[in-house]
Structure 1
């Protein structure tokens, strides 16, 4: 395995105006406006020329005619939107995913605090956390939508952290149907709201790989409903 480092700004090499702008910013020569903020050149701005929300204008500029090109891997792989906070990423993902015409598939995480015998950290609170490197509690996917791998699952075959991938509907169905329940146990626990059901499962895939899953409250009903549909 060879580790590569980025050392050159490729856009600055081919765009003299952008290159000069970066130099002025780095040398503290670029004029500032209120509160020492730098006004970006109009050439790199996306103007809102309609009644759409600014986020929708950004999405339409980066993913033009998405409804006609959503099946094209070449179209998807050459486009990306970067954001500074996870909450912005989730908001943009939600807006973009709604533009894909296919049916939604929802996946929920099962969060629990280790050795929390007094139940100080309720599942409802854990589900609201957005730590780096983990997907949101509710992950919505559609056929042909792009995803990014967050773990080094198989570096030899290119399945590394940051790998961009393309969803196929058969993969979503296969994911739901290949896992089988080996053992389950239902109980109740007390929290600030009173008593709530808890369902502990041990599931395995076709190769025998096992994981433990814990579900609380309404997630149990959604899980049972998913089993009945499949």
Structure 2
């Protein structure tokens, strides 16, 4: 969840851009969210600090008119069990004395998650249908591990259908700076949010996602999913599969 300081920063920015001292520069502002979802992260904070960081604790909150959604579009087919379960988790009724939630057997994998989704081996003909699937994990390191396992199971017939691309990993130093400040091994171990790993391992028919806007009008924007068709030394041949 976005912390209140981010909302207040947007307010300050819009006032500065529009040269208008009204809230949000006089612009209509719409925000949405669910306070039952993940609270803002406050590093080294106490139990009450994440609550105090929520947007409803901001001085701007009183300026908003709150509208509540009354129809759950996902439960219109009459199956309200998931809807009720989510509400129980959000309220905290499912927690034990240690704050843990017991998951139902039907939502748990009988084996590892990669085998559950793609099977023991991944056929090239199945990657197209898997393009509309996604695996979520709390940390990037967990996702990277799952990706490596899935790639190992993707079978390719030719060696040229698999390549590992490495990013530029040389640091530029100002005169007088020590090159020990940013060692190459340390730099390559970093995986910042929104950036790929230092080594980009790909196979033909691999599904990739754009992390920046290149050509919005033609669908090459952040979040677009593409399928790898050819692998060159410095270039990739990609096919747009899912345009956001």
Distance (Å, rounded) in 1 between the aligned partners of 2:204 and 2:81: 40
Distance (Å, rounded) in 2 between the aligned partners of 1:105 and 1:174: 8
1:65 deviates by: 6.8
Q: State whether residues 109 and 137 of structure 1, in contact with CA within 8 Å, keep that contact through their aligned partners in structure 2.
A: yes
Which residue of the other structure, out of 178, 191, 196, is the alignment partner of 1:118? 178
Q: Specify the alignment match of 2:166 in structure 1.
A: 108
> In the TM superposition, what whole-angstrom CA distance separates every residue of 1:18-73 from its partner, at most 9, and x where no partner exists?
1110111223222x33511010111211123xxxxxxxx211222247533x3345
**TM-score, normalization: structure 2?**
0.58
- 114-123 or 134-143: which moved more? 114-123
Structure 2 unaligned segments of length 5 or more: list them: 1-31, 34-68, 237-244
> In the TM superposition, what whole-angstrom CA distance separates every residue of 1:192-223 from its partner, at most 9, and x where no partner exists?
xxxxxxxxxxxxxxxxxxxxxxxxxxxxxxxx
Counterparts in 2 of 1:9 and 1:106: CA distance versus 1, 3 Å = farther
**1:149 and 2:210 matched:** yes
Distance (Å, rounded) in 2 between the aligned partners of 1:100 and 1:87: 20
1:74 deviates by: 3.8
1:114 deviates by: 4.5
Tell me the secondary structure at the aligned position of residue 87 of structure 1. helix
Which residue of the other structure, out of 160, 173, 192, is the alignment partner of 2:221? 160
Structure 1 unaligned segments of length 5 or more: list them: 49-56, 178-230
Which residue of the other structure, out of 148, 154, 173, is the alignment partner of 2:232? 173
**1:129 and 2:190 matched:** yes
Distance (Å, rounded) in 1 between the aligned partners of 2:142 and 2:119: 20
Q: How does 1:11-160 map to 2 (within 5 A)?
A: 11-14=74-77, 15-30=79-94, 32-33=95-96, 35-48=98-111, 57-64=112-119, 67-68=122-123, 70-72=124-126, 74-102=128-156, 103=159, 104-116=162-174, 117-119=177-179, 120-160=181-221
Counterparts in 2 of 1:74 and 1:16: CA distance versus 1, 3 Å = farther
What do you get for the CA RMSD once the two structures are aligned? 2.9
Q: State whether residues 13 and 19 of structure 1, in contact with CA within 8 Å, keep that contact through their aligned partners in structure 2.
A: no
Q: Specify the alignment match of 1:200 in structure 2.
A: none
Q: State whether residues 147 and 164 of structure 1, in contact with CA within 8 Å, keep that contact through their aligned partners in structure 2.
A: yes
Counterparts in 2 of 1:12 and 1:126: CA distance versus 1, 3 Å = farther
Q: State whether residues 110 and 116 of structure 2, in contact with CA within 8 Å, keep that contact through their aligned partners in structure 1.
A: no
